[in-house]
């Protein structure tokens, strides 16, 4: 046989579209060509595959070899196509049974000795394999979800009914490097096999009884394997800050903390993930697939852990929101369903900060290049921290600030009004006094677990009422779900006129008040809850 077809997948923004590797052997001058929009890493696989086959004792065909990676308009990157290309050559030259490649998917980078190296994107690939089996690959490029995975048994049974009413359809099989198989095994509905090298995999495909390849069991995950999450009980004082983070966690609101150096802004921000509700199955799959396909990679210990990303203020726009060619996700996407922390907010380049405006509002960002457009999810929760002036001591009663009014104003003007409008909670964090620091035990707050329990109840109320968090409500939904009582509406109208709020700021105060009411378990925001929401909007205007 001179033609072989092997199935694989390409990572793309947490998705894994199917790639068909077609290998054709023809007569003519010996050559080895790879077509189908491969990048440099893929083109270099010619040398890796040639050396791996020869060093493993296989015959490398001295013929005209053409490898087509379909679809041709999808850019192919990374060394994951080494394994399917090598298997395609072996099947086309008759060294392994071609039928052994049917209904199986393969990915892995080969060393020159034929060993399989770890690869990124294994989890995302398993999600794509599961969706492909459930939906016939018609929408395998969509994010992995438990709805699609739950439909997998029914889809397999329907396919089996067409061929045999009595024979159950087997689960799809995915073959990966042994070091990458554990994370892929977390995806239900897929039989994941981990191979150490090319010869053992070929022996398994040929039906050798002693090949020893078995489906990898999903790793057992527990709290001991996960990284410890900072606890809110470690925070001394800052009662207002702890309360603001509780409100932010319950409603998914963005937060800006303003205060002098050492006040505890970064300490509070690092503890926001510990207050958020546990990830649902869909959220865990979506987040893990994004991390898996990124250059960070995914570890099983990160399963169901909310991402917390804290890029440095020297980060570029491409690093923050995504870029490069082909498009790669940025920090705002890596923080999807988690927290994006921007410390020293005014030290970021203003142009970089302005790129956050649309994704913070929409929860998605589209990166367009001449030949490709990619849509990345970006539904993260922003928490930012800043000093009130360049030296950090503006308003200090001890008179330590040496900044001129012009210098302080120029510093604050690095943040545009439209960006600040999108931050629901803006709170001043005062410096702790020596008395508060010495009375550490007396000023310690509640533990994160206690606050998180209240947050989960409030979040459940929102999902039952409107199917989304309060931050995600649009204008009409705000009018329906967030309308306050008469006293609260009068107070809100007066505050909007006094402070000159925009329509966006007005509605965001209403959303925060609705979250406060959800924490209290009341049907509609009261005047006291409106007043608390207004206080969360005044900090920046007082500077």
Cis peptide leading into residue 326 (ω within 30°): yes
Rounded-to-integer distance, Cα 202 and Cα 238, Å: 62
The CATH T-level fold of domain 232-447 is Rossmann fold (3.40.50)
- Model confidence pLDDT, tens digit, residues 78-133: 899 999 999 999 999 999 999 999 989 999 999 999 999 998 889 889 988 888 77
Closest CA to 465 of 514, 533, 534: 514
- Is residue 340 within 8 A of residue 383, CB to CB? The reply is yes
H helix intervals, 392-541: 405-412, 417-421, 434-438, 440-443, 448-466, 475-481, 486-499, 503-520, 527-535
Report, as ranges of residue numbers, the positions in the chain whose pLDDT lies below 70. Answer: 1, 12-14, 135-169, 209-211, 221-227, 370-371, 440-444, 539-543
Closest CA to 265 of 130, 387, 371: 387
Rounded-to-integer distance, Cα 367 and Cα 201, Å: 39
Rounded-to-integer distance, Cα 68 and Cα 351, Å: 42
- The DSSP output letter for 511 is H
Q: Tokens 């020596």 appear where?
A: 434
Closest CA to 271 of 373, 339, 368: 339
- Residue 397's Cβ-count burial label (10 Å; 0-12, 13-18, 19+) is exposed
H helix intervals, 181-308: 181-184, 198-205, 239-251, 265-270, 281-293
Helix (DSSP H) and strand (DSSP E) numbers for the chain: 24, 18
**Per-residue pLDDT, 213:** 86
Strands (E), 210-324: 255-258, 308-309, 322-323
- Model confidence pLDDT, tens digit, residues 244-277: 999 999 999 999 999 999 888 999 999 999 999 9
Cβ-Cβ contacts under 8 Å for 377 (sequence gap 6 or more): 14, 143, 286, 290, 333, 336, 363, 364
Rounded-to-integer distance, Cα 427 and Cα 241, Å: 7
Rounded-to-integer distance, Cα 32 and Cα 43, Å: 10
CATH class of 3-205: alpha beta
Return the bridge partners of 66, or none: 24, 33
**Per-residue pLDDT, 158:** 47
**Per-residue pLDDT, 179:** 92
Which residue intervals of the chain bear CATH 3.40.50.300?
232-447
Which residue intervals of the chain bear CATH 3.30.230.10?
3-205
């Amino acid at each position: 046989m001179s033609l072989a077809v092997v199935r694989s997948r390409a990572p793309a923004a947490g998705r894994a579209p199917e790639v068909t590797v077609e290998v054709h052997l023809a007569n003519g001058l010996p050559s080895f060509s790879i077509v189908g929009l491969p990048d440099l890493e893929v083109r270099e696989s010619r040398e890796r595959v040639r050396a791996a086959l020869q060093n493993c004792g296989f015959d490398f065909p001295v013929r005209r070899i053409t490898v087509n990676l379909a679809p041709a308009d999808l850019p192919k990157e990374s060394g994951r196509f080494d394994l399917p290309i090598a298997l395609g050559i072996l099947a086309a030259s008759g060294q392994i049974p071609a039928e052994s490649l049917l209904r199986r998917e393969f990915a892995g980078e080969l060393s020159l000795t034929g060993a399989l190296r770890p690869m990124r994107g294994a989890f995302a690939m398993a999600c794509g394999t599961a969706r492909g089996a459930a939906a016939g690959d018609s929408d395998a490029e969509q994010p992995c979800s438990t709805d699609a995975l739950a439909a997998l048994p029914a889809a397999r049974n329907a396919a089996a009914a067409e061929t045999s009413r009595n024979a159950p359809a087997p689960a799809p099989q995915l073959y990966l490097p042994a070091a990458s198989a554990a994370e892929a095994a977390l995806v239900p509905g897929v039989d994941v096999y981990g191979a150490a090298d090319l010869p053992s995999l070929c022996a398994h495909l040929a039906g050798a009884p002693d090949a020893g390849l078995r489906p990898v069991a999903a790793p057992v995950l527990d709290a001991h394997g996960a990284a410890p999450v900072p606890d809110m009980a470690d925070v001394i004082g800052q009662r207002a800050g702890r309360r603001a983070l509780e409100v932010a966690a319950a409603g998914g609101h963005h937060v800006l903390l303003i205060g002098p150096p050492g006040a505890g802004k970064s300490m509070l921000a690092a503890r926001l993930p510990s207050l958020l509700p546990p990830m649902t199955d869909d959220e865990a799959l979506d987040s893990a697939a994004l991390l898996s396909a990124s250059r960070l990679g995914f570890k099983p210990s990160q399963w169901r852990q909310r991402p917390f990303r804290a890029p440095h203020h020297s980060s570029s726009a491409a690093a923050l929101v995504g870029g490069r060619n082909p498009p790669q996700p940025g920090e705002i996407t890596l923080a999807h369903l988690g927290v994006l922390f921007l410390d020293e907010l005014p030290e970021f380049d203003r142009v970089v900060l302005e790129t956050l405006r649309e994704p913070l509002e929409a929860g998605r960002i589209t990166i367009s290049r001449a030949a490709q457009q990619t849509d990345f999810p970006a539904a993260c929760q922003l928490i930012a921290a800043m000093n009130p002036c360049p030296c950090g001591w503006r308003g200090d009663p001890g008179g330590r600030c040496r900044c001129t009014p012009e210098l302080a104003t120029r510093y604050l003007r690095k943040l545009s009004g439209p960006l600040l409008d999108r931050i629901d909670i803006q709170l001043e964090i005062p410096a702790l006094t020596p008395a508060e620091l010495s009375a550490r035990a007396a000023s310690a707050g509640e533990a994160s677990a206690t606050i998180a329990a209240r947050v989960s109840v409030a979040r459940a109320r929102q999902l039952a009422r409107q199917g989304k968090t309060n931050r995600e409500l649009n204008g009409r939904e705000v009018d329906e779900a967030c309308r306050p009582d008469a006293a609260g509406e009068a107070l809100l109208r007066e505050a909007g006129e006094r402070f000159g709020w925009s329509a966006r700021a007005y509605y965001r105060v209403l959303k925060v008040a609705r979250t406060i009411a959800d924490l209290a378990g009341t049907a509609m925001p009261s005047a006291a809850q409106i007043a608390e929401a207004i206080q969360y909007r005044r900090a920046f205007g007082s500077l």
